Structure 1
Amino acid sequence: MSALNFYNIFILCMHLAVTCWALPTQKCKIEDAACLKAAAQSMVPTLAAGMPEMKTEPLDIMRVESIKVDLAGLKLNIKDADVKGLKKTVIDKISIDMAKKEIYLVYHADILMKGHYKASGRLLILPISGDGETVIKLKNLQMEMTIPFDIIKNSDGKDVLDLKSYKFKYDVKTNANFHMTNLFNGNKVLSDTLHNFMNENWKALSIEFGAPMLESPNAKIFNTLKKFFKAQPLEDIAEY
């Protein structure tokens, strides 16, 4: 590449930063699953860091203002939660089905969540009462997202994907660990009993209460993907 061409591209990127640094490092045929997976993996650090030009929030560290659970006798509210780990996400599968107009995404990551909690009611078979700080660790959280889309024209008349909604399934594959301060007004015996119960029954807890816990973080991930795809002409992402 000549120095002049490099300079011209550099200047173009300075004016059109979104297009230049947000695009995947490779353009794939839309049906090439392996290529799409590699391209998506290359985008993880950029998406996790946040893209100010697209007005997307950082996904790592992700700030979640409120997480509410009101299910099976448990009332739990976590405020100002910080979620870490998505920058090390591993993409397991991604496909873009143009006939169904649907993106299918599978990934896994180790997740750490910290925040202020308030809890009351019952946690499966044991009572719970507390107001303090919580740390939740999810080892090998696998997420499966199905995202329908429409194809619309941008201001330049080019096709872009307009993501409409999402559904998700999840599985905490390896382990979950829970810690809460100030349970039962600081009663150590009751606190230790509940902590032992939670960490011995992590799988049952993740199955029972995981969906409402993960809804708000997943909404932020979806909003980032929606802004990214709407900002990029489809022809710049994939051959279709």
Structure 2
Amino acid sequence: MSRTLGLCVGVAATILLLAEDLKAAAPNKLPPGFKLCPRNDPTTSSCLEEAISVALHELASGLPEFGIPTLEPLEIPQLSIGDPNSNAPVNLKINFTDIRIYNISSAKSTNVKLDVDAFLISPHVEIDSIYAEAHYKMDGRILLIPAKGEGKVVFNLTNLHGDGAMTGEKIMKKNKEYLKVNDFSFELNHLDKLVLHFENLFNGDKTLGPTINNLVNENWMEIWSQLRVPLQEICGYSFREYARRLFDKVPLDDVFLVKAP
């Protein structure tokens, strides 16, 4: 198992443990705030675009009755980037811990495709801005300049786009058809800008700290190229566990209606 995959599994396990602690009941209907969509209908795609955005908004504060913890913020225990053997101009080994990501619930979905029989649902997702904060420990070089520090870091991401794909299979429980979610892959494929601010670089040096922060932000695409893959895998694993909790309790016909409402 890769280091990133192991981290993703750990995040998923954390979500499940939090959900178990809630000791939720087992409802068999979606909460009133959710939007229901028909299957195999000309309006299905446009309906799902709105339904996914509404669902993310509803998940912001969690769904205790489904054993689903809050989405705002999305919490990630740990994430590391950097290759100590790299000769790249930006060669920073950074360990992030206690990561909290805000504003995911504001995402808008477009161009949603659904195949209920397969089962496959694939949305395109866009988020205007994301704010995140974490604790960091950094060591390395950027453009041959040493960079070292430990403390708080703040991220601001602008105009983030991604494509998701949730796959599953139909199963029977209590004479009703349910969806067993098998996987949720997620690819982050567009970002306009990443701005980072590392506090306490070189123990708070007022000259070196701003210099390194400026260099990091001038070379933000190098940082993003290392953050993107582990971040998208963690998001995919997290959303898979959210979806499993939801679809495990609600019959398929009460999520994707046989007839339009």
Q: From the superposition, tell whether residues 23 and 235 of structure 1 become closer, same or farther in structure 2 (CA, over 3 Å).
A: farther
Q: Distance in 1 between matches of 2:158 and 2:200?
A: 24
CA contact (8 A) 2:30 2:254 kept: no
2:19 matched to which residue of 1? none
Q: Distance in 1 between matches of 2:40 and 2:144?
A: 49
Deviations 1:122-150 (A, max 9, x none): 45765432110000011111121122212
Q: Distance in 2 between matches of 1:63 and 1:22?
A: 26
CA contact (8 A) 1:25 1:39 kept: yes
Find 1:212's aligned residue among 230, 236, 244.
230
Q: Distance in 2 between matches of 1:124 and 1:86?
A: 33
Q: From the superposition, tell whether residues 144 and 108 of structure 1 become closer, same or farther in structure 2 (CA, over 3 Å).
A: same
Find 1:79's aligned residue among 74, 97, 109.
97
Unpaired runs of 5+ residues, structure 1, are 1-14
Normalising by structure 2, what TM-score? 0.76
CA contact (8 A) 2:131 2:157 kept: yes
Matching residue's letter, 2:38: C
Find 2:168's aligned residue among 149, 152, 161.
149
Find 1:221's aligned residue among 239, 246, 258.
239
Structure 1 residue 226: Cα displacement: 1.9
Q: Aligned pair 1:175/2:186, yes or no?
A: no
Question: 3-state DSSP class of the match of 1:19?
Answer: coil
Structure 1 residues 1-240: aligned runs within 5 Å: 19-21=29-31, 24-30=34-40, 32-71=44-83, 73-109=91-127, 110-122=129-141, 127-154=146-173, 156-239=174-257
Q: From the superposition, tell whether residues 165 and 125 of structure 1 become closer, same or farther in structure 2 (CA, over 3 Å).
A: farther
Larger RCO, structures 1/2 (Cα 8 Å, 6+ apart) = 2
Matching residue's letter, 1:167: S
Q: Distance in 1 between matches of 2:123 and 2:144?
A: 35
CA contact (8 A) 2:27 2:250 kept: no
Q: Distance in 1 between matches of 2:180 and 2:145?
A: 45
Q: Distance in 2 between matches of 1:89 and 1:139?
A: 12
Unpaired runs of 5+ residues, structure 2, are 1-24
Higher helix share: 1
49-58 vs 33-42, greater mean Cα deviation = 33-42
Aligned length: 225
Q: Distance in 2 between matches of 1:17 and 1:90?
A: 27
Q: From the superposition, tell whether residues 60 and 127 of structure 1 become closer, same or farther in structure 2 (CA, over 3 Å).
A: same
89-98 vs 135-144, greater mean Cα deviation = 89-98
Q: Distance in 1 between matches of 2:249 and 2:257?
A: 17
Determine what percentage of the aligned residue pairs are the same residue. 24
